[in-house]
Amino acid sequence: MLSALFEVTYRRDLCLQSGPATIVPAAKIRLLKSAPRTSEGLSVVKVTEDERVLLFGDFSGFHLYVIVTHTKFRVDPSSVRAMKGDRFSATVYCEPMNHGREAARHSRVLQLWFKSPVLHAEHVEACAYGNEPNGFAFHVPGCGVQKYFCDMAFVTGYSTRPVTIPANIEYIGMSARGGSEVHSRFQGGHDKLESVLSELVQRQSFCDVSILVYKPGELEANLAFHTVVEILEAGLIGHFKPKHNTEHRNFPSSAHKLTGAARSLGANGLKLQLEAPKNVVLYSDGQPLPRNIHDADYDL
């Protein structure tokens, strides 16, 4: 007669979520230091004589960030048309995630309708940052010309037609110790960001770089906030295995201190969630299927 003893083990998961993402163009990441810190705050940052960046909302509390590469956008200057109610339309060329002749053959052509970031503009036209028509210039009576770069933040924020933009996760990082926030990680330069930008230049890539910033929530538990963010960061790195992350790629086996902190709360499992911005899908070397929301699940 055979007998067996079975021990029933129940999962008690520590659940951590990134929350919604905010897109910041890589070239503008340092502007977060000048951004408003209240829900109704508004800052208009003058970048050049005629270029403005509009920052609205509460930009405090960003402690997790994700560096992504994605398509550039080019504007057909002859296609820009003003419409009623501070809206306009334009044909935009969306390049794939490769370069050279292949990109030229496979460019997507999008007919988009936008709500204008500038009220009462009497005229809108394409403008160029560098050699390509990749922005919009708004002529406002009494206020001159205001220019906005047509990047992922602009397309997802102002297009009234849904457009799905794939974004490749290159690096995941955090800044929470001592109350520090994401903008402090970029004030003196960021070697991983520079590496990503350098690779795009060397490949003559049609890609652009943006930084997704997040506000992870605090736990109602006896666990320091920076430890919560570190667990979230490490678990997401283990899930996505981004190219430019070297630590925590083998999470949880490589992070005994962090998993021990989770187990100290009585957890024997970990569930994580990373949310992409609206109309953006994320993928990586470790997770090649693009999704708007990624879930990670670990036994501890």
Task: Please check whether residues 127 and 245 belong to one and the same domain.
Answer: no
**CA dist., res. 26 & res. 193, Å (int):** 8
Task: Please check whether residues 283 and 189 belong to one and the same domain.
Answer: yes
Report pLDDT digits (tens) over 238-258.
999 999 999 999 999 888 899
Q: Which domain covers residue 197, as residue numbers?
A: 13-39+58-70+166-299
Task: Please check whether residues 189 and 282 belong to one and the same domain.
Answer: yes
Asked, for residue 53, whether it belongs to a domain, the answer is no
Asked, for residue 156, whether it belongs to a domain, the answer is no
Report pLDDT digits (tens) over 90-129.
999 987 644 334 444 456 888 999 999 888 888 999 999 8
Task: Please check whether residues 214 and 255 belong to one and the same domain.
Answer: yes
Task: Please check whether residues 195 and 228 belong to one and the same domain.
Answer: yes
Could you tell me which residues come within 8 angstroms of residue 188 by beta carbon, excluding any fewer than 6 positions away? none
Task: Please check whether residues 92 and 35 belong to one and the same domain.
Answer: no
**CA dist., res. 149 & res. 123, Å (int):** 16
Choose one of 92, 115, 150: the last residue of a domain.
Answer: 150
Closest to 198 measured CA to CA, from 244, 249, 245:
244
Strand pairing partners for 124? 138
The kind and range of the H/E element at 202 are helix 191-202
Task: Please check whether residues 146 and 190 belong to one and the same domain.
Answer: no
**CA dist., res. 229 & res. 19, Å (int):** 12
Q: What integer pLDDT is reported at residue 99 of this predicted model? A: 39
Task: Please check whether residues 34 and 172 belong to one and the same domain.
Answer: yes
**SS3 state of residue 261:** helix
Q: Which two tokens stand for residue 194?
A: 């520079």
The more confidently predicted of residues 149 and 10 is 149
Phi, psi of 160 (to 5 degrees): -90, 0
Mean pLDDT to the nearest integer, 211-219: 87
Asked, for residue 228, whether it belongs to a domain, the answer is yes
Q: Are 55 and 271 in contact (CB under 8 A)?
A: no
Q: What integer pLDDT is reported at residue 142 of this predicted model? A: 83
Q: What integer pLDDT is reported at residue 12 of this predicted model? A: 87
Q: Is 136 exposed, middle or buried (0-12, 13-18, 19+ CB in 10 A)?
A: buried
Asked, for residue 90, whether it belongs to a domain, the answer is yes
**CA dist., res. 239 & res. 253, Å (int):** 13
Task: Please check whether residues 177 and 239 belong to one and the same domain.
Answer: yes
Task: Please check whether residues 224 and 286 belong to one and the same domain.
Answer: yes
Percent of the chain with pLDDT over 70: 87
CA distances from 144 to 52, 154, 194, 278 (A): 12, 21, 35, 32
Domain count, the chain: 2
Whether 10 shows a pLDDT value over 80: the answer reads no
Could you write out the DSSP letters of every residue in the chain?
------------EEEEE---EEEEEGGGGGGGGGS-EEEEEEEEEE-SSSBEEEEEEE-----EEEEEEEE-EEE-GGG-EEETTTEEEEEEEE--SSBTHHHHHH-EEEEEEEE-SSTT-SEEEEEEETTEEEEEEEEETTTEEEEEE-SHHHHHHHBSS---EEEEEEEEEE--GGG--HHHHHTT--HHHHHHHHHHHHTTBSEEEEEEEE-PPPPSSSS-HHHHHHHHHHHHHHHH--TT--SSTTTTTT-HHHHHHHHTTT-SEEEEEEEPPTTEEEE-SS--S-BSEEEEEEE-
Task: Please check whether residues 17 and 66 belong to one and the same domain.
Answer: yes
Task: Please check whether residues 206 and 65 belong to one and the same domain.
Answer: yes
Choose one of 115, 150, 185: the last residue of a domain.
Answer: 150
Q: Which of 1-5, 105-109, 210-214 has the lowest mean pLDDT?
A: 1-5
Choose one of 122, 150, 178: the last residue of a domain.
Answer: 150
Compute the mean pLDDT over every residue in the chain, rounded to the nearest whole number. 85
Asked, for residue 48, whether it belongs to a domain, the answer is no
Asked, for residue 3, whether it belongs to a domain, the answer is no
Asked, for residue 97, whether it belongs to a domain, the answer is yes
Asked, for residue 81, whether it belongs to a domain, the answer is yes
